[in-house]
Amino acid sequence: MPLPVAHGLLGASVAAALYQPFESRRWKILATGAFLGICPDFDYALNWLRISGGGWHHGFTHSIMFALFLGLMTAAMVSGKKLRNIVVFGCAAGSHTLLDYLMTESTGVALWWPFTNHRYRLSLPNPIDYNWDNASLWASAIDLVRISLSELMIFAPILLVVLLARRRLIVRCN
Ligand SMILES: [Zn+2]
């Protein structure tokens, strides 16, 4: 199960790759993309609050419809409801759903909510060992650091490649 490091970096990569104009608003767009990439996992709060008995994780917040909703809300706040920006921010949020769909070891994500609550997953071989030692707080902290660093090593280069490609494109156009 990917952690916020992976989701944030992937969301930022998607926003950086697609948003126009990027250079003048670079940090704002990267932060927005990272936040959108993490957003669907706020459904943990519904579990912690025991709303309707829990069981919310990987539910409606992990659907394509919810990603589009986040895209619409974000575009309205950041730049007016331009269709292109709704798609860009929707894709940044949807990157979370896609990554969980590809890698989750749970029963899957509610990809097509509200049409069906069925959970979908692809269960690709996972490059990161997400096994977690719950024997002590120290052991859990060590595993959290290990997993976060593994995600950083895989997903930070993706963001760097996107940023370098954008810079090359801008230099070429000028
Ligand atoms: Zn998730």
Q: For residue range 75-131, list pLDDT tens digits in order.
A: 999 876 789 999 999 999 999 999 999 998 888 999 999 999 999 999 888 888 888
Torsion-angle region of 160 (φ positive above 0: left; ψ -120 to 50: alpha; else: beta): alpha
161 Cα to the center of ligand 1, angstroms: 24
Is 173 a residue whose pLDDT tops 70?
Answer: no
Residue-level pLDDT at 119: 95
Instruction: Give the SS3 label for residue 120.
Output: strand
Residue-level pLDDT at 169: 73
- Which letter does DSSP use for residue 82 in this model? -
143 Cα to the center of ligand 1, angstroms: 19
Q: Which residues contact 168 (CB under 8 A, 6 or more apart)?
A: none
Q: Where in the sequence is the domain holding 60, given as residue range(s)?
A: 4-173
Residue ranges of alpha helices (H) inside the chain are 4-18, 26-38, 43-48, 64-79, 83-103, 137-173
CA 166, CA 161: separation in Å to the nearest integer? 9
What residues does the ion ligand 1 have nearby, CB within 5 Å? 40-41, 100
CA 144, CA 150: separation in Å to the nearest integer? 10
**What domain count does the chain have?**
1
Residue 54 — pLDDT band, cuts 50, 70, 90? confident
Counting residues of the chain whose pLDDT is more than 90, the rounded percentage is: 65
94 Cα to the center of ligand 1, angstroms: 10
3 Cα to the center of ligand 1, angstroms: 8
Q: Which amino acid is at 26?
A: R
19 Cα to the center of ligand 1, angstroms: 23
CA 150, CA 63: separation in Å to the nearest integer? 26
Q: How far apart are the first and last CA of the chain?
A: 42
**8 A C-beta contact, residue 85 and residue 79:** yes
Identify the H or E element spanning 122. none
For the entire predicted model, the pTM comes to: 0.90
Residue-level pLDDT at 170: 66
